[in-house]
Amino acid sequence: MRRLIISVFIIFSLMFSCLGTAGCHVEEEEFPELDFPEESVESQPSSDDDSNQTSAELQELTVALPLSDETVTLLMKLYYAKNNDLFPAEMTGADISLEYLDAINTPWVINTVTTASTGETADNLTTLSTDGIEPDLLLAGDINDLIEQGTIIPLDEFLFNDSSLSSYSIYLDALESLRYGDDHYGLPFYSSVYMLAGSTEFLPESGVPPFSMGSDELLSYVHSIPSYNNDGTYITRFYYSDSISELLGEDFADSLEYDGLTSSTDSYGADPRVSRTCGVWVMNSSEFDTWSSYYPDGLYFTMLPTGNVNAVVYPICVSSTCTDQEFAADFAAFICFDKDAQMLMRRLEALRGFFPPITTRGVWDEISTDPDFGAQSMLYEQYMTSAIYDVAGD
């Protein structure tokens, strides 16, 4: 099996080539071919000796990802199909028959531990280990802690220089945010963004604001939100949090405070977002489902008025206990950067509020079909190349 590496040389070459352009979108090609065993388990001879040999050669991989067992299994079958000339050229991950994929036999056994969308922490992994579960691949919820404890390994050793990788439309800043020292300890699985959420119950007379506003326009809009409920209780027009200065700028945060527009409590000392007496607050798109279900009268969403998109990247990592780290790294790169893998994953999983690590048009088209967050997602597509990426848990 041919191994892949995202080398320091390739990354910096790509980043240098992007400096002179407004965006770094390169025409995508097929995922580079890898060499796999040509025969599936069923195709081995049926003698007792050979059957024992087949069992011994089966590769087993345990993954801890926010995906269902069905999705992970189909991704593995797609991985095998695309590299053994079993994937129809006219098909994509968005329209390939699931029955066709499911019928493909692979020489691998894959086990799935479905995790939270924000990934696994060191404490979570300790609990799994106590139960006898040692993930080979995992979504990291606190990569710094996992690196410090030696739980995950650098991937550069296994993802060596392959020029075909340069054909990918990867969000390079997301990838580079996972470099610690000279090595990459993860690959971007997906990312989320910070945005503003507002309750439609407290809309001013002007109605829903535009999706993109400047700071002055936003400040004027917050002023127009009613100050009191019909029952006389106080409406927190803008929820105060420590992230306001960092994400919106100190001048804007000072203006909110000076004008008396912000608070972290309601009339009874509770969180106004929880008591549903809040006009606008900063949220992360990963919280979209949580807040949307909590506000039955509906929410609206707008971008931050800073001119930049602040994103959080969630890395997929290889465990130091993995017995076949090369294989695990190959599969991780396939999940993250192959366009058909991304389309298939988006087709099978909502992943609402999370954005892909590649710019491929078909992947974003799949995201746009979501009835609740599709429109907002598409508005962010044009900004992700220049987004400011932080890593989950930092």
Same domain for 204 and 323:
no
Q: DSSP letter at 386?
A: G
For residue 229, the model assigns a pLDDT of 85
For residues 320 and 282, membership in a common domain is answered with no
Residue 1 in any domain: the answer is no
Predicted confidence band of residue 210 (pLDDT cuts 50, 70, 90): very high
Task: Inform me whether the pLDDT recorded for 143 exceeds 80.
Answer: yes
Dist CA 205 CA 207 (whole Å): 5
Residue where a domain terminates, one of 257, 276, 302 = 302
pLDDT band at residue 47 under the 50/70/90 scheme: very low
Q: Are residues 318 and 385 in the same domain?
A: yes
Distance CA 129, CA 125 (A): 6
Residue 25 pLDDT class (50, 70, 90 cuts): very low
Tokens representing 151 are 């739980």
Contact (CB, 8 A) for 152 and 146: yes
**Spatial CA neighbour of 329 closest among 174, 183, 159:** 159
Query: Phi then psi for 269, rounded to 5 degrees?
Result: 85, 5
Instruction: Judge whether residue 188 has pLDDT over 60.
Output: yes
Q: Is residue 3 part of a domain?
A: no
| Structure token pair of residue 83 | 């590299």
Do 147 and 39 fall within a single domain? Answer: yes
Q: Which domain holds residue 146?
A: 8-192+310-391
CATH number at residue 62: 3.40.190.10
Instruction: State which of 302, 334, 355 marks the end of a domain.
Output: 302
Report the candidate in 86, 79, 66, 67 with the shortest Cα–Cα distance to residue 108. 79
Write the CA distances from 214 to 135, 239, 246, 278, 382, integer angstroms.
45, 18, 16, 21, 18
281 bridge partner residues: 197
CATH number for 283: 3.40.190
Q: 3-class DSSP state for residue 381?
A: helix
Integer Cα distance of 141 and 20 in angstroms: 34
Residue-wise pLDDT tens digits, 323-374: 999 999 999 999 999 999 999 999 999 999 999 999 999 999 999 999 889 8
Q: Is 134 exposed, middle or buried (0-12, 13-18, 19+ CB in 10 A)?
A: middle
- Can you tell me the distance from the alpha carbon of 234 to that of 284, in angstroms, rounded to the nearest whole number? 25
Q: Do 55 and 173 reside in the same domain of the chain? A: yes
Indicate whether 144 and 284 sit together in one domain: no
pLDDT band at 161 (very low <50, low <70, confident <90, very high): low
Find the angle CA(89)-CA(98)-CA(61) to the nearest 5 degrees: 95
Q: What is the mean pLDDT of residues 243-263?
A: 92
Same domain (yes/no): 380, 244: no
Q: Is the dihedral of CA 323, 109, 326, 349 positive or negative?
A: negative
Total number of domains constituting the chain: 2
Do 63 and 165 fall within a single domain? yes
235/341 same-domain check: no
| Residue 353 DSSP label | T
75-108 pLDDT, tens per residue?
999 999 999 999 999 999 999 999 999 999 999 9
> Is 321 inside a domain boundary?
yes
Q: Specify whether 171 is located in the same domain as 123.
A: yes
Beta strands in the chain (DSSP E): 59-65, 108-114, 137-139, 179-180, 183-184, 187-199, 236-239, 262-263, 278-284, 299-302, 310-318, 388-391
pTM tops 0.75, yes or no: yes
Residue 2 lies in a domain: no
Distance from C-alpha of 86 to C-alpha of 59, rounded to nearest angstrom = 20
- The answer to whether position 31 is within a domain reads yes
Predicted local distance difference test score (pLDDT) of residue 306:
81
**pLDDT-derived band at 6, boundaries 50, 70, 90:** very low
286 and 168 share a domain? no
- Report yes or no on 174 lying in a domain: yes
Give 279's pLDDT tier (boundaries 50, 70, 90): very high
User: Is 66 in the same domain as 150?
Assistant: yes
Structure tokens at 216: 């002055």
**Across-strand partners of 183?**
180
123 located within any domain: yes
303 vs 160, more confident: 303
Residue after which a domain boundary falls, among 251, 271, 302: 302
